[in-house]
Amino acid sequence: MLEWIIILLICVLMLDGIIYAVFKNPQSFPNALTGFIRMVNISAARPQPSYDPACSKYDFDVNYRFREGQCRHRSWEFDVTIKGNSLGLPDDEASLDSPEIIVIGDSYAAGWGVEQEQAFPARLEQLSGKKVLVAAAPSYATGRELILLEQLDRSAVKTVIIQYSENDAFENFEVFKNGEVRPIHHMVYRSISQTNLKRKRYLERPYFPGKYVYLVYLAFQQPTAPAPPDDDSKAEHFLEIIARSELGKMDNVKIIVLSLNQEHIPDQGFIDALTARLSSEPDPGFYSRITAIGTTDALTTEDYFILDDHLRPSGHQKIAELLMKTLD
């Protein structure tokens, strides 16, 4: 019996060592192994700043927003500072006053994993010379993004950039079906926050046998995501949500739809479906103000983190340059 316990302990220690080595130096391992550890990281090993009381707080309208001030967002591949202004947006205070461009979106637009000065909205501001406001937060979908937009100073805005991700489709379907955004209860938010804090504290604990093997176990306990709607339904839901919002009535504002996803998820299907609907509407209305652009062809593997599904600074720079072509 003792021999089997020793063998089991040795196996656990070896597996722990391999997993930890991939976490620390993913570039040194084959893609098949790093792909598996990426799944573990995304599913079970990365804390969410949206549910970290040091970074975010509950909000009745949009579920949560960043706290005013600074907090630390750290993972295996980055260690950055999130800076929230008085409205809980990841931008400085000056940008709240009469921005010319407003970027709404999820974690990509919010600059997950990079310093805010490196994120594509800040790079776009530098390239264009126009004041850009970032109104984004992780996991926001179109309905919540547009609610946030309505709370901002829009007196000088000329362009609204909607950064769309494939995972928006699930929440957008619910908003389309219900006719409104239905925020989570604050007790639900509190429960998720507590789970997130447990994950964060678990990762900060000193090493013990099985620490990293347990993360693999947790990753496989996550529920399987349902099948997303088809591309035409995604485009329909997206446009209908805009039509119900104030943005649909802002006649002099250009709308740029920026499809931006994790690596290996192509955006052409959604872009084609959206473009088809925009061109087939006999009474275009606000459709005529929309320009849709994909990013799949502009980005390479090197523009993404290895274990995280977000962009490195080089990817943000490319997105900013792509947007500049559309602004021009």
Please tell me the predicted confidence (pLDDT) of residue 9.
87
Measured between alpha carbons, how far is 141 from 151 in angstroms, rounded to an integer?
A: 16
Q: Cα dist. 59→51, 53, 56, 90, 182 in Å? A: 12, 12, 9, 15, 12
Name the nearest CA neighbour of 148 among 177, 112, 110.
110
pLDDT of residue 1: 77
For residue range 220-271, what is the model confidence (pLDDT) as tens digits?
998 887 888 999 999 999 999 999 999 999 989 999 999 999 887 877 899 9
Q: Identify whether the C-beta of residue 100 lies closer than 8 Å to the C-beta of residue 296.
A: no
**Side-by-side strand order, sheet with 101-105:** 132-136, 101-105, 159-164, 254-259, 290-294
- Give tens-digit pLDDT for 185-200: 999 999 999 999 999 9
Closest CA to 234 of 255, 257, 250: 257
Tens of pLDDT, residues 149-161: 999 999 999 999 9
The pLDDT value recorded for residue 292 is 95
SS3 track for 193-212? HHHHHHHHHHHHCCCCCCHH
pTM: 0.95
pLDDT in tens, 58-117: 999 999 999 999 999 999 999 999 999 999 999 999 999 999 999 999 999 999 999 999
Domains by residue range for the chain, with CATH: 2-47+184-219 (no CATH), 67-183+227-327 (3.40.50.1110)
Contact 292, 308 (CB under 8 A): no
> Is the separation of the CB atoms in 138 and 107 below 8 Å?
yes
| Opening angle at CA 188, ends 202 and 205, nearest 5 | 5
